C-alpha cells in the first residue's frame, strides 16, 4: 500500500468522528435531516494564559468544503461497517442519501488573522442539521490547531520586537499535517520564514536555513567546514559556531569571514545553538565588530519561546534573528485550544426558531443561544469592546452589552461615537462559495494591523487585561430565561 499517496490524494470527507455519522443517520432515520439549524464554533479561554487569540485555518476549511462529498470508496466503507450486534450499522438507503447529498449550508466566519476572544463564534454554520453535524469534527480539527499556533507565533514575534523570527520545527512537529499546518499558521502569526521547504512551496512562505552540526563534524577541521560551506553557498553564509567550542568557533568564523570579504562576498551571520545565549551573543558581537563585521547577524536557537526571548532581551543579548522550533510548532505549553462546536438554534415544526443552550454546572460551559454575530467597536483606531448579538433581531444605533460571567459589568456603545465592524462575513451561501481568501501575505499584514489595534495591556504575557466581550442586553436576557426554564423544567 502506498500509504502517504493514498492518504493525502483521496477524499477527506471521512475525516470525522463516527458519532457525526451516527447522528446524521439518526436525523435521516427520524425525518429530521433537513431541519434547519445553526451551529457556532468558538473557544472558552484564550490560550497560553494570554489576553487574545489569532483566528487561523479558514482557508483549509474552505478547501475542505469545496471538496465535501462522499466518494464511492467512502460509501462502500460505510456500508461495510458493523454495529455492536455484528449487523450493518447504516442502511443502504442512507448510503444512497449521502451519495446524492448536495451541500446547502450558509457559512459565515471571522477572516483569518483576526484577533478573537472567548465565546465569540469564529465560524457560524446554518443549514440542514445533518450537514452541519458532519462538519463539526473537521472544522474543529483545522481551526483548533492553526489558531493555537498562529497565536503562539504572534506572542513570539511580539517578544522578539523588531528582530526576525524563523520557524524551523519540522523535525519536532506532530506528523506531516502538523508540520505543514504549523508552518502556515506560524508565518501568518508573525514568523518571517520557515525551514519547511514543502510548506514554502505549498503556501508561498519564504524558506531559510543553512547547515547543521553534522556538516562541521564531517570535516577534519572546523575551519575547513566553514570555508567549504562559504564557497559552495556564497549567498547563504550563516556559520554554526558551537559544534566544539563556541568562542573558538566564533574566531574561526571570523577568519573565514575575512576570506569571504576578500572575495567580495557577504559574511551574513553566525548561529548560536547552545549554552548561555546572552553571554555568547555579547562576546560574539564584540568580536565581530572589532573584526569589521558589524553588519554580520547573530542568529540564536535552542528551545526558544516568547518567555525566553523576552528574558534574553532583558539581559540585552545581542541577537538579531531568532530561530524557534519545538516550542512553537507543538504549542509546547498548551497542546490544544479547546474550541467547541455547539447548536444554538433549530427550526421547529412551524418553521420558527427555537433557541438552544447546553446547561452545565460550570457557568463557563453554558453556550450562548441565537443566530450569533459579533460587533467590534473601535475608537481612535483602538479596539474597545466586542458584543455578541442575535442577528435575527432588528439592528440599533445604540447598544448595551453585559458580561455573562458578571452581570454588574456593563458597557454602552453608540454608532454615532464609535466605529463598528461585524466580524463574521459570508463565506458560503446555499453551499456556493462567495468569498475568495486573501493571499497569505495579506493575512499576515492583517495580523500585524490587528495587533496594533489592541491596547498593550491585553497583549502582555503576565496577567493580561481582560478585553471587554459581552452579550447584547436582549440576548443576555434571553439566555437567562432559557437557563431558568430548563432548570425549572
Could you give the 3-state DSSP secondary structure of residue 52?
Answer: coil
In the predicted model, what is the mean pLDDT of residues 178-186? Answer: 97
Query: Cell for 87?
Result: 449487523
Strands 193-194 and 115-116 turn out to be unpaired
Contact 200, 194 (CB under 8 A): yes
Q: What span, in angstroms and rounded, lies between the C-alpha atoms of 122 and 112?
A: 9
Q: How many CA atoms lie within 13 A of 169 on its CB side?
A: 34
At residue 1, does pLDDT exceed 60?
no
Query: Shortest CA distance to 264 belongs to which of 305, 234, 243, 288?
Result: 234
User: What pTM value is reported for the model?
Assistant: 0.96
- Tell me phi and psi for residue 157, to 5 degrees: -65, -40
pLDDT of amino acid 85: 95
- Model pLDDT, residue 456: 96
Q: Which of 132, 80, 75 lies closest to 99, judged by CA?
A: 75
Per-residue confidence (pLDDT) for residue 399, from 0 to 100:
87
Determine the Cα–Cα distance for residues 386 and 402; give it in Å rounded to an integer: 11
Whether residue 283 contacts residue 255, with contact meaning beta carbons closer than 8 Å, is answered with: no
Over residues 394-404, the pLDDT tens digits come to 777 788 999 98
Which DSSP state fits 363? Answer: G
Mean pLDDT score of the chain, rounded to an integer?
95
Cell 494591523 belongs to which residue?
A: 449
Domain 3-150+336-487 class in CATH = alpha beta
Residue 251: what pLDDT?
Answer: 98
The pLDDT-based confidence of 363 (bands split at 50, 70, 90) is confident
Mean pLDDT of 153-181: 96
Query: Which pLDDT score is estimated for 232?
Result: 97
* Residue 130 pLDDT grade (very low, low, confident, very high; cuts 50, 70, 90): very high
Count CB neighbours of 173 within 10 A: 22
Please name the fold of domain 159-329.
TIM Barrel (3.20.20)
Q: Answer whether residue 5 shows pLDDT above 90.
A: no
Domain residue spans in the chain? Answer: 3-150+336-487, 159-329
Question: Is 416 a residue whose pLDDT tops 80?
Answer: no
In order, the DSSP letters of 58-81 are: HHHHHHHHHT----HHHHHHHHH-
Amino acid at each position: 500500500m502506498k500509504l502517504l499517496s493514498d492518504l493525502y490524494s483521496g477524499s477527506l470527507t471521512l475525516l470525522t468522528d463516527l458519532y457525526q455519522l451516527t447522528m446524521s443517520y439518526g436525523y435521516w432515520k427520524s425525518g429530521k435531516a433537513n431541519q434547519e439549524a445553526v451551529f457556532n464554533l468558538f473557544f472558552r479561554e484564550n490560550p497560553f494564559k494570554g489576553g487574545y487569540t489569532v483566528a487561523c485555518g479558514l482557508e483549509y476549511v474552505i478547501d475542505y468544503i469545496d471538496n465535501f462529498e462522499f466518494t464511492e470508496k467512502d460509501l462502500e466503507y460505510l456500508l461495510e461497517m458493523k454495529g455492536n450486534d455484528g449487523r450493518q450499522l447504516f442502511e443502504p438507503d442512507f448510503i444512497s442519501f449521502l451519495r446524492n447529498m448536495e451541500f446547502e449550508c450558509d457559512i459565515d466566519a471571522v477572516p483569518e488573522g483576526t484577533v478573537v476572544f472567548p465565546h465569540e463564534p469564529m465560524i457560524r454554520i446554518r443549514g440542514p442539521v445533518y450537514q452541519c453535524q458532519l462538519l463539526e469534527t473537521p472544522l474543529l480539527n483545522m481551526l483548533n490547531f492553526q489558531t493555537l499556533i498562529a497565536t503562539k507565533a504572534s506572542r513570539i514575534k511580539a517578544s522578539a520586537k523588531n528582530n526576525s523570527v524563523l520557524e524551523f520545527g519540522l523535525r519536532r512537529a506532530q506528523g506531516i499535517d502538523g508540520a505543514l499546518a504549523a508552518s502556515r499558521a506560524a508565518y501568518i502569526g508573525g514568523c518571517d520564514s520557515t525551514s519547511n521547504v514543502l510548506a514554502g512551496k505549498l503556501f508561498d512562505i519564504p524558506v531559510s536555513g543553512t547547515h547543521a552540526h553534522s556538516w562541521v563534524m564531517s570535516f577534519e577541521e572546523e575551519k575547513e567546514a566553514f570555508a567549504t560551506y562559504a564557497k559552495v553557498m556564497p549567498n547563504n553564509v550563516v556559520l554554526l559556531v558551537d559544534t566544539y567550542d563556541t568562542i573558538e568557533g566564533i574566531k574561526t568564523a571570523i577568519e573565514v569571514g575575512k576570506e569571504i570579504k576578500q572575495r567580495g562576498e557577504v559574511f551574513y551571520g553566525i548561529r548560536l545553538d547552545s549554552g548561555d545565549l546572552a553571554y555568547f551573543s555579547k562576546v560574539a558581537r564584540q568580536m565581530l565588530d572589532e573584526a569589521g563585521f558589524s553588519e554580520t547577524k547573530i542568529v540564536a536557537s535552542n528551545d526558544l519561546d516568547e518567555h525566553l526571548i523576552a528574558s534574553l532581551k532583558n539581559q540585552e543579548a545581542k541577537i538579531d534573528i531568532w530561530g524557534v522550533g519545538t516550542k512553537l510548532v507543538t504549542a509546547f505549553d498548551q497542546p490544544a485550544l479547546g474550541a467547541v462546536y455547539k447548536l444554538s438554534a433549530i427550526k421547529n415544526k412551524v418553521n420558527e426558531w427555537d433557541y438552544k443552550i447546553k446547561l452545565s454546572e460550570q457557568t463557563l460551559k453554558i453556550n450562548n443561544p441565537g443566530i450569533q454575530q459579533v460587533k467590534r467597536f473601535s475608537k481612535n483606531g483602538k479596539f474597545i469592546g466586542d458584543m455578541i448579538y442575535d442577528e435575527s433581531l432588528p439592528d440599533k444605533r445604540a447598544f448595551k452589552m453585559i458580561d455573562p460571567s458578571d452581570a454588574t459589568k456593563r458597557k454602552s456603545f453608540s454608532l454615532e461615537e464609535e466605529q463598528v465592524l461585524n466580524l463574521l462575513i459570508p463565506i458560503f451561501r446555499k453551499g456556493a462559495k462567495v468569498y475568495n481568501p486573501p493571499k497569505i501575505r495579506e493575512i499576515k499584514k492583517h495580523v500585524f494591523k490587528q495587533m496594533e489595534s489592541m491596547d498593550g495591556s491585553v497583549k502582555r504575557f503576565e496577567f493580561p487585561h481582560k478585553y471587554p466581550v459581552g452579550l447584547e442586553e436582549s440576548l443576555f436576557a434571553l439566555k437567562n430565561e432559557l437557563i431558568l426554564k430548563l432548570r425549572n423544567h
